[in-house]
Structure 1
Amino acid sequence: MNLYPIGKPLVKIFYHLFFRITVIGSENIPKQGGVLICSNHLSNFDPPFIGVSITRALSFIAKSELFKVPVLGVLLRHLNSFPVRRGEGDRGAIRMALKLIREGHALLLFPEGHRNLNQDAPLKQGLSGAGFFALKTDAVVVPCAIIGRYKFRSKMKIVFGKPVDTMAMKNQKLKSSEASTVIMRRIQALLDEHAGPTA
């Protein structure tokens, strides 16, 4: 049973009660077709935060350890999530991601591969996965920046940038790692442009 249609409205109410949310650039996400949303990663709250900020259903990858947590693991499987074994080149997760994108779904990725809690520091180098999916599919790649801290009634901002020019990356015959670098630069540019006081 897919709980996403039920869970999304409830989570949206929760987020708007607990945080003061501003969403910028949601029009940059196409209403249909394969989409790859690439974002910085602050917290485990990020996937649902991004999910309630767009109109489309969102699939996302979560570290396999979370699926072993009682109750949480069951919920994740019914909320458009699938596991990845980090650091192992998980082929099953790669095949699933490619399948979802090619079938026209929206997929969320955190190119850094893990949470980066220091918002004042530059983003770390992105893993090659984001670049690989961008080069191997026709997905629209949308950079995303999450700004703020998940504290009660704090200001949270989520910014969706204009799509990355994936055709240029393909024409230049970039490697996956190089394409990921291009994507990370776009995310960093959004952070630099929109960062400001949050409280």
Structure 2
Amino acid sequence: MTKPEWLGTDNVPAKGGVIIAANHLSTFDPLTVAHFLYIGARRWPTFTMKDSVMRIPVVRSVASSTGQIPIKRGSTDAVKALHEAELALTRDGSSVIFYPEGTCTRDPHLWPMTAKTGVARLALTTGVPIIPVAHWGEQHILPYGQKKFSPFPRKRVTFNAGPPVDLSAFEGKPLTATVLTEATEAIMREITRLQAQIRQEEPPAVPYDLKRARIEAAEAAKRAERESDDGKNSTEA
């Protein structure tokens, strides 16, 4: 369905537990990420998936039979899911795919955003290598937030896997919020660097912060509402 180009597949260990940390462009890209890992790197892909996705009967059936890990955000189930991921990595030697951003990027130019710290915590807790993977092209097949699915003509989708992210500066330190944030930023810098190589473009100096953008949008909406109310009051006076 795509014209795949796979770079850096030799950076993915042939065996043993490994964390695959990838950027998230489209709801279509889990298929291309799985294809890259299974065919390109010869590793069975294990995803951490949103619980809402697992509620779809067909997805639930396939995911359950292939060892995929559901995550229900903001609950004790999320802790349980991370524990299951830890077991998959350390006990079973699985290759577990994570989207550190937690959702598709909202950056206007589709660069990786700031990320959640769970992946960094898992890597530092287990000592399992974390392979940064960037990809580009799925947005032309199924853009985020749109229903237009355009598989044909087949689109070029490029993957670029880097060597393990060096987190040695954080090893042995207490997993404070600062340590986890800095480790997460190191992971995302590598993913962004790899995507910049694919795109042959310069990434933004500061990644898009979805949480901050939402807060600013809410504040702007409140200001607009107050200004509208003030305008009405002055007119009535």
**Same-fold status (TM-score > 0.5):** yes
Paired AA for residue 99 in structure 1: L
Larger radius of gyration: 2
Pick one of 118, 123, 130 that aligns with 1:129. 118
- 1:157 is matched with which residue? 158
Note the C-alpha offset of 1:42. Answer: 1.5
In the aligned structure 1, how far is the partner of 2:172 from the partner of 2:137? Answer: 36
In the aligned structure 1, how far is the partner of 2:135 from the partner of 2:106? Answer: 11
- SS of the residue corresponding to residue 57 of structure 2 reads coil
Note the C-alpha offset of 1:121. Answer: 4.2
Paired AA for residue 27 in structure 1: D
- 1:183 is matched with which residue? 187
Give the helix-richer structure, 1 or 2: 2
Q: After the TM superposition, which residues 1-199 of structure 1 pair with which residues of structure 2 at under 5 Å, given as runs?
A: 18-53=1-36, 54-88=41-75, 90-103=78-91, 104-116=93-105, 118=107, 120-149=109-138, 150=141, 151-152=151-152, 153-170=154-171, 175-195=179-199
Q: 1:37 to 1:119 in 2, by over 3 A?
A: farther
For the 8 Å contact 1:34–1:138, the answer to whether it is kept is: no
Q: Percent identity?
A: 28
For the 8 Å contact 1:34–1:140, the answer to whether it is kept is: yes
For the 8 Å contact 1:47–1:108, the answer to whether it is kept is: no
For the 8 Å contact 1:130–1:176, the answer to whether it is kept is: no
Give the strand-richer structure, 1 or 2: 1
Gaps of 5+ in 1: 1-17
Count of residues in Structure 1 that have an aligned counterpart in Structure 2: 180
- Using the size of structure 1 for normalisation, the TM-score is 0.83
For the 8 Å contact 1:23–1:159, the answer to whether it is kept is: yes
**In angstroms, what is the RMSD of aligned CA positions?**
2.0
Gaps of 5+ in 2: 142-150, 202-237
- Using the size of structure 2 for normalisation, the TM-score is 0.70
Deviations 1:67-123 (A, max 9, x none): 111222111212331210123361110110111111211110000001115572432
Note the C-alpha offset of 1:173. Answer: 5.8
Judge which range, 114-123 or 82-91, deviates more: 114-123
Q: 1:78 to 1:142 in 2, by over 3 A?
A: same
In the aligned structure 2, how far is the partner of 1:94 from the partner of 1:166? Answer: 19
